[in-house]
Amino acid sequence: MSPVSQAAVKAPAVTADAFDAPGIDDIAFSLVAALRRHPHLSNVLTHISRSNWPRVEQTLRVILDPATQRHDLTPLAHNILDLMVAERGVTGRIFKPYLHALLVASVGANRAETLLSLIHRLTTQPPPKRALQLIADHDSRPPRAQLKSRHGARRQGVRPKHGPDT
């Protein structure tokens, strides 16, 4: 057997699916097109994006990007994620199964499950440590002690030195 034939035998078989798999940009574009066709979801997304559909598409790209962390998300991305995952209200109950069906139709069941788990990960990530540190640094006393210092003057009948009486 020639060296070229031996290399061909040892090389893994490449299927057409590997080349046909759509990228994040293509998936986001397809999702936006399908969402714009849906009467209720189109109306809701038009409202929350302030009629800026390119912004919706960019937000979907960010949401579908595996490198995205929760702190990278914009308020629009948080709203869209809430619609995708929470199933609250009419829109949530429509959006979640519709998104699942769209993803399965456009990328296949396996990749759709991967993307849906990525979306779910973004909604369940804990807040960044920096945000927790800022909260902890604000007032490190126990909550009951904080409450007493804020409302202690009222409980003891002492009036504040500011206001209309002074």
Any domain includes 72: yes
Q: Name the residue type at position 23.
A: G
Residues 62 and 72 sit within 8 Å (Cβ to Cβ): yes
Any domain includes 15: yes
Q: Of the ranges 73-77, 104-108, 160-164, which one carries the lowest mean pLDDT score? A: 160-164
Provide the whole-model pTM. 0.65
86 CB neighbour count, 10 Å cutoff:
14
pLDDT in tens, 101-157: 999 999 999 999 999 999 999 988 665 554 444 444 455 555 555 555 555 545 555
What was the pLDDT predicted at 113? 96
Any domain includes 100: yes
Averaged confidence pLDDT in the chain: 78
Query: Which residues neighbour 32 within 8 Å (Cβ) at sequence distance 6 or greater?
Result: 53, 56, 57, 60
131 CB neighbour count, 10 Å cutoff:
12
Any domain includes 66: yes
The Cα–Cα gap between 96 and 85 comes to: 6
Task: Give the structural domain span for 55.
Answer: 3-124
State how many domains the chain has: 1
Any domain includes 134: no
